[in-house]
Homo-oligomer: A and B are copies of this chain.
């Protein structure tokens, strides 16, 4: 026998035979409890969130103990976060959510043969205060004995015309050879070590000296590492260089570049690797400032360009 509808049943016009022991109207009842005074977007997002949360629980028949473990875990996330540590951000990265949100916001598939340079996640280490530097200079303020200096250069071009984009700004930031950014390593690094902005010349070209990047681990205390351990996953990010390329007339591109021989490419803890971001560092001869060379060309789409629609 099932209920005759004094309460939840009031939200239900259906009289079909039940196909599950679960109340078929429970989720819609929860959603309909939302009042008229909310924005349509909030209603859309929260309705979908509730529907997926409930579908998840029914699909796996979530037990009381599992639910309570989840409750404790959510509290632990916030209790681990501080002004300089955002553990909820990290948990969402480990679950692939930041990378997915980046794809939703930024992915463009061109109608032609060439796509714009892929976007990737910003991460927590970008700084708005990086100084402009001259092409040909270095971002290495505090040399690290293990650092391998690389001459990085390339051309920034327009997706539609193939022409260079003079004046485009190429902003780069990277960890030092110890796997730490300036923020994290005040004993060894001065502010803006391994950060800099470069303005492309009249041919759309940029060039400067930086380090071959170094792989590093996410923090191995706290809930993100606990979750990684539960999933039998490692905490490593592949070595990477962050870049953000902008120009007033083009859609900006925030992304990361990865050495093709890095062992963590396929299992990046935050799922931020994409095919066109995997690059080839080559030995450099005849330049006493560097031992490696990296050419990376960036393709930007004009503002408003939508690409292929599906």
Contact = CB atoms under 8 A, between A and B. Distances in A.
A54 B97 contact: yes
26 contacts: A1-B109, A1-B112, A2-B115, A7-B274, A18-B109, A21-B109, A22-B104, A22-B107, A26-B103, A30-B96, A33-B231, A34-B232, A36-B232, A45-B60, A52-B55, A52-B56, A57-B97, A61-B104, A64-B105, A67-B92, A71-B86, A74-B78, A74-B88, A74-B91, A75-B77, A79-B81
A113 interface: yes
Interface stretch (A187-195, A264-272, A286-294): A264-272
B88 A75 contact: yes
Interface in A12-59: 18-23, 26-27, 29-30, 33-38, 42, 44-46, 48-50, 52-59
A107 to B, nearest CB: 5
Interface residues of A, number: 101
Given A74-B77, A78-B76, A310-B21, A5 B275 contact: yes
Contact of A101 (B33, B63, B92): B63
Interface in A241-300: 265-267, 271, 273-276, 278
Nearest to A69: B45
Contact of A19 (B22, B38, B310): B310
Contacts of A308: 21
A54 B100 contact: yes
Contact of A278 (B7, B58, B74): B7
Nearest to A114: B1
A218 interface: no
Contact of A275 (B7, B11, B88, B99): B7
A103 B35 CA distance: 25
A3 B110 contact: no
Contacts of A115: 1-2
Given A1-B113, A103-B22, A96 B45 contact: no
In the complex, the 7 A-B pairs of residues with the closest C-beta atoms, listed nearest first:
A78-B78, A35-B232, A74-B88, A30-B96, A3-B275, A52-B56, A52-B52
B3 A274 contact: yes
Contacts of A22: 103-104, 107
Given A21-B107, A55-B52, A271 B29 contact: yes
Interface in A89-132: 89, 91-92, 95-105, 107-110, 112-115
B95 A53 contact: yes
Given A81-B79, A104-B22, A38 B232 contact: yes
Contacts of A23: 103
Contacts of A52: 52-53, 55-56, 59
Contacts of A67: 92, 97-98, 101
A8 interface: yes
Contact of A79 (B30, B79, B113, B271): B79
B71 A88 contact: yes
